[in-house]
Amino acid sequence: MKTAHRQFKDTTYEHFARVGKAVSAPKRLELLDLLSQGPRTVEVLAELAALSVANASRHLQVLRGARLVESEKKGLFVEYRLASDDVAVFFASLRSLAEARLGEIEQVTRAYFHGRRAMEPIDGEELLRRAKSGAVTVLDVRPVEEYRAAHLRGAISIPVTELAARIDELPKDREIVAYCRGPYCVMAIEAVALLRKKGFDAHRMEQGVLEWRARGWSLERQGTES
């Protein structure tokens, strides 16, 4: 017969395991990463994660069951968001641990970005210093919905899909630092490649909203600092 002490321990770790089980599928991790950028409907998440709507919904229900995400009915659609900023911090910590312990991540990342001649990124601390001094233009190249949900303070929004048509909106006499969804996102690399081709002094930042949120740095939502 279990003692009260043993029962307490077993029950506690069972609840811990609920979170571990919820994030045990690669696609659920990708969904958390996408939701770190801002709220999304099931349909949009399914498209971004290359899932059917039915499969995306099932994965989101698992995450919801572990209290990692929340949902809200909006008209004909269901919109999901992270349950709290703590979830973003958890995801960033999980990713950092995996990067530190699993050499395979570095290998596959190096091979992918090297094949695309990725530029060396500017560190977030360095960007912060330059941005505060007014020395750089910070460019958010994610979809506009993600920019509206949360963006780096002072960043301007030009999605990478619109950059070629709107490139004249950017000053050529200032350095431009582009960012997207973090170290495994290629939108900023594409943007920097285009900007350099057009004669801009452009660089990419490896960190994005998720990393800044995890560090507790200032973000803006709908024009309001947070």
Catalytic residues: 180
DSSP code at position 71 = E
Nearest to 23 by CA among 84, 118, 92: 92
Structure tokens at 126: 């360095």
Q: Six-digit token pair at 26?
A: 């690669």
- Helix orientation angle between 4-22 and 53-65, rounded to the nearest 10 degrees: 150
Quickly list DSSP for 148-173.
HH-EETT-EE--GGGHHHHGGGS-TT
In the chain, the amino acid numbered 23 is: V
